[in-house]
Amino acid sequence: MSKTIIVSNRLPLQVKIENDNLEITPSVGGLATGMKSVHSEGDGIWIGWSGLTEEELDESLKKKVEQEVKKEKCATVPLTQEDLEHYYFGFSNRTLWPLFHYFMEYTEFEKDYWDSYVTVNKKFAEVVLKHAEKGDTIWVHDYQLLLLPGLIRESMPDISIGFFLHIPFPSYEIFRTFPWREEVLTGMLGADLLGFHTYDYERHFLSSIKRILRLDVNFNEIIYKDRVVKVDSFPMGIDYNKFHKAAKENMDRLPAERSDLQQRIDDHFMKDKEAKLILSIDRMDYTKGIPNRIRAFEYFLNKYPEFKQKVRLVMLAVPSRSNVPQYQLLKKETDELVGRINGQFATVSWTPIWYFYRSLPFDNLIDLYTSADVALITPVRDGMNLVAKEYIATRVKKDGVLILSEMAGAAKEMNEALLINPNNFEAMADTLKQALEMPVKEQKKRNTMLQKRLRRYSIDKWAAEFFKALKATQNLGQVIVAS
Ligand code: ADP
Ligand code: G6P
């Protein structure tokens, strides 16, 4: 029977070694949380990196890792320490990630990184080819594997391949600066269907195809060699019911059954009915606009001092890619800013910013979402941003206000949120005031619309639409052959 093979750099689970034992935790990030729901329902396999390098594993640990991931219908691609440094921290996260998020000043064009990127994409192809059989469907994900569709196509010309990019595709003016632009574009064209979160990313990609490869583009179809490659936008949704149900359960819990975190929040906010909780959740990443958000909050407290003692910004930043210097600098800057603002404004009974630099379990994420009067999500550039959608899904009573950056892909579908430019502190401060004073009736009106849309276009629907479009490309191929 034919199966679906999902391929991404990171598996939905992370394996670590703790005191000679394997420890398995869920992976963080939009790709993992989104695709996990799709994968858990299917009977396919997910191929990716376990989180451990070859050097960390002896034969017996290797076997154990394979057994553990197999239970979750996964298989691993072996990566060495050098692969990790050059392909993952290097080309993926010091070249492609900053370039595609318009951080030109952070982008490094290193030939060693590129060579490793090619090698590792080939390693992924090898493992995929071991598992793939005629009639299977292969779904490749994200910027770490842009060459993979082309590599698989070389060995299996007739297999169905889909590719989805979870980050923005930059405008031609940015992409043209990239030394390996032709190789990357032709690698992607190995797929039958290329999916992006928004129409803008799709448009940017097509523009690069026309101007760099000079290929014929007919609306959203590219003629490449003897095939038609289709390009389309599929805004990724969330597992709406999972978040909504978890929030309902959380709210029904008796005080004694509540988590420590929830009890601490309750204690604080029960005492003062006028107190408000503003929440942000991100990976610690410079694209997420964390310093901008803190500075805007400082500006807000100075401009509207009547909110002092009343509002608290709860900021959860999950550690990410901490070997990359820009991420280390961001962590330092964030620590300093939080320290400065808390030092400047705190009183014996009030700390303006509660800052957590760690990963929290799912139940605690739900505690935070359900307790937040306002979600303040301010990326300077973000492919989609699922946190914004998850916050709305957890609003069981339909109250709460989402402030969302225009620079997030999610803003395209969430017009009822308060949309802001994350570089405009004045406007951010005013919008925060507007959010804190918004009548509940208006909150409910906005969230009703948002929830309706999110429920309808959930992650299952997103995946189903992608598969439907991928299946339809089989007919496109035949048209070409026949003509
Ligand atoms: P990105 O993909 O850039 O990290 P998104 O906002 O699209 O940004 O996705 C982040 C995902 O990571 C969300 O689904 C969120 O629930 C999840 N997440 C955030 N923090 C944690 C955490 N501490 N533990 C597990 N998952 C988390
Ligand atoms: C974003 C990327 C994913 C990545 C995730 C976490 O969501 O689009 O591809 O997996 O961040 O980053 P990491 O580098 O830890 O895998």
Instruction: Quote the pLDDT of residue 256.
Output: 82
Distance in Å, CA 365 to ligand 1 centroid: 10
Whether ligand 1 lies within 6 angstroms of the CB of 469 is answered as no
Looking at the CA of 279, name the nearest ligand: 1
Distance in Å, CA 256 to ligand 2 centroid: 36
Active-site option among 141, 166, 197, 204: 166
Instruction: Quote the pLDDT of residue 34.
Output: 83
Estimate to the nearest angstrom the gap between the alpha carbon of 209 and the chain centroid.
25
Q: Look at ligand 1, atom 9, and give the residue with the nearest C-alpha.
A: 30
Whether ligand 1 lies within 6 angstroms of the CB of 385 is answered as yes
Q: Look at ligand 1, atom 18, and give the residue with the nearest C-alpha.
A: 28
CA nearest 458: which of 142, 164, 33? 33
Pairwise CA distance, residues 27 & 53, whole Å: 16
Estimate to the nearest angstrom the gap between the alpha carbon of 18 and the chain centroid.
27
Instruction: Quote the pLDDT of residue 476.
Output: 65
**Burial of 7 per CB tally in 10 Å (0-12, 13-18, 19+):** buried
Whether ligand 1 lies within 6 angstroms of the CB of 280 is answered as no
Non-local (6+) Cβ contacts of 362 within 8 A are: 26, 246
What's the order of all strands across the beta sheet hosting 137-141?
A: 74-76, 45-49, 4-10, 137-141, 160-164, 193-196, 227-233, 221-224, 217-218
CA angle 113, 10, 44 (to 5 degrees): 130
Looking at the CA of 318, name the nearest ligand: 1
Residue ranges lining ligand 2, Cβ < 6 Å: 10, 29-32, 142, 166-167, 320-321
Q: Give the pLDDT of the chain (483 residues) as one tens digit per residue.
A: 789 999 999 999 999 998 888 999 999 888 898 888 889 887 899 999 999 999 999 999 999 999 999 999 999 999 999 999 999 999 999 999 999 999 999 999 999 999 999 999 999 999 999 999 999 999 999 999 999 999 999 999 999 999 999 999 999 999 999 999 999 999 999 999 999 999 999 999 999 999 999 999 999 999 999 899 999 999 999 999 999 999 999 999 888 888 888 888 888 776 777 899 999 999 999 999 999 999 999 999 999 999 999 999 999 999 999 999 999 999 999 999 999 999 999 999 999 999 999 999 999 999 999 999 999 999 999 999 999 999 999 999 999 999 999 999 999 999 999 999 999 999 999 999 999 999 999 999 999 999 999 999 999 999 999 999 999 998 765 444 443
Please answer whether residues 198 and 407 qualify as being in contact, where contact means their C-beta atoms are separated by less than 8 angstroms. Answer: no
Token couple for 50: 């376990």
Q: Look at ligand 2, atom 8, and give the residue with the nearest C-alpha.
A: 166
Residue 166 designated active-site: yes
Torsion of CA 349, 350, 355, 358, to 10 degrees: 30
Instruction: Quote the pLDDT of residue 415.
Output: 98
Whether ligand 1 lies within 6 angstroms of the CB of 30 is answered as yes
**Burial of 463 per CB tally in 10 Å (0-12, 13-18, 19+):** buried
Pairwise CA distance, residues 25 & 12, whole Å: 9
Distance in Å, CA 441 to ligand 2 centroid: 37
SS3 318: strand
Pairwise CA distance, residues 21 & 18, whole Å: 5
Distance in Å, CA 367 to ligand 1 centroid: 15
Torsion of CA 172, 293, 356, 354, to 10 degrees: -170
Which residue type is seen at 342? N
Q: How many angstroms separate the Cα of 456 from the Cα of each of 36, 450, 452?
A: 19, 10, 6
Which residues does residue 5 pair with via DSSP β-bridges, in sequence order? 45, 138
> First-to-last CA distance in the chain?
32
Distance in Å, CA 320 to ligand 2 centroid: 9
Atom of ligand 2 nearest to the CA of 166: 8
Looking at the CA of 317, name the nearest ligand: 1
Pairwise CA distance, residues 352 & 346, whole Å: 6
Pairwise CA distance, residues 313 & 428, whole Å: 14
Whether ligand 1 lies within 6 angstroms of the CB of 136 is answered as no
Q: Look at ligand 2, atom 1, and give the residue with the nearest C-alpha.
A: 29
Pairwise CA distance, residues 210 & 120, whole Å: 28
Residues in the chain: 483
Looking at the CA of 34, name the nearest ligand: 1
- DSSP-assigned letter for residue 95: I
Token couple for 444: 């409910």
Whether ligand 1 lies within 6 angstroms of the CB of 33 is answered as yes
CA nearest 104: which of 175, 207, 188, 169? 175
Pairwise CA distance, residues 397 & 248, whole Å: 9
Pairwise CA distance, residues 202 & 210, whole Å: 12
Distance in Å, CA 369 to ligand 1 centroid: 12
Please answer whether residues 379 and 99 qualify as being in contact, where contact means their C-beta atoms are separated by less than 8 angstroms. Answer: no
Residue 197 designated active-site: no
Estimate to the nearest angstrom the gap between the alpha carbon of 386 and the chain centroid.
7
Q: Look at ligand 1, atom 16, and give the residue with the nearest C-alpha.
A: 387
Helix (H) or strand (E) run with residue 463 in it: helix 459-482
Supply φ then ψ for residue 161, to 5 degrees: -125, 125
Distance in Å, CA 302 to ligand 1 centroid: 31
Instruction: Quote the pLDDT of residue 477.
Output: 53
User: What is the full DSSP assignment across 131-147?
Assistant: H--TT-EEEEESGGGTT
